Amino acid sequence: MNLRPLKPPKETQVRILDAAEELFMQHGFEGASMRMLTARAGVNLAAVNYHFGSKDALIEAVFHRRLDPMNAQRLAELDRLEAEAEGKPLAPEAIIRAFLSASLRMVEDVRNGGRNFSRLLGRAYTEPAKPIRQLIGRMYAPAMERFKTALARALPELPRDELVWRMHFMFGTLAYTLAATDTVQLIAGAKPEDRYDARVLEDRLATFMSAGLLAPLPGAHQVRIAA
Partner DNA sequence: CTATCATTCAAACGTTCGTTTGAATAGGTC
Partner DNA sequence: GACCTATTCAAACGAACGTTTGAATGATAG
The residue ranges that bind DNA (CB under 7 A) are 1-3, 5-6, 9, 12, 30, 32-36, 43-51, 54-56
Q: Which is nearer to DNA, 50 or 169 (CB)?
A: 50
Q: Which is nearer to a copy of itself, 63 or 125 (CB)?
A: 125
Alpha carbon 106 to its chain's center: 9
Cβ at position 54, least distance to DNA in Å = 3
Task: Give residues 102-161 in contact with a copy of itself (rule: CB under 8 A).
Answer: 122-123, 125-129, 133, 136-137, 140-141, 144, 148, 160-161
Q: Which is nearer to a copy of itself, 46 or 214 (CB)?
A: 214
Q: Cβ contacts of residue 136 below 8 Å, gap of 6+?
A: 63, 67, 124, 125, 127
Q: How far apart are CA 59 and CA 71, in angstroms?
A: 18
Cβ at position 120, least distance to DNA in Å = 16
Q: Which is nearer to DNA, 39 or 158 (CB)?
A: 39
DSSP summary character for residue 33: -
Contact map string, positions 9 to 48, toward a copy of itself, x by CB under 8 A? ----------------xxxx-xx-----------------
Q: How far apart are CA 125 and CA 227, in angstroms?
A: 36
**111-127 burial, b if ≥16 CB within 10 A, otherwise e?**
eebbbbbbbbbbbbbeb
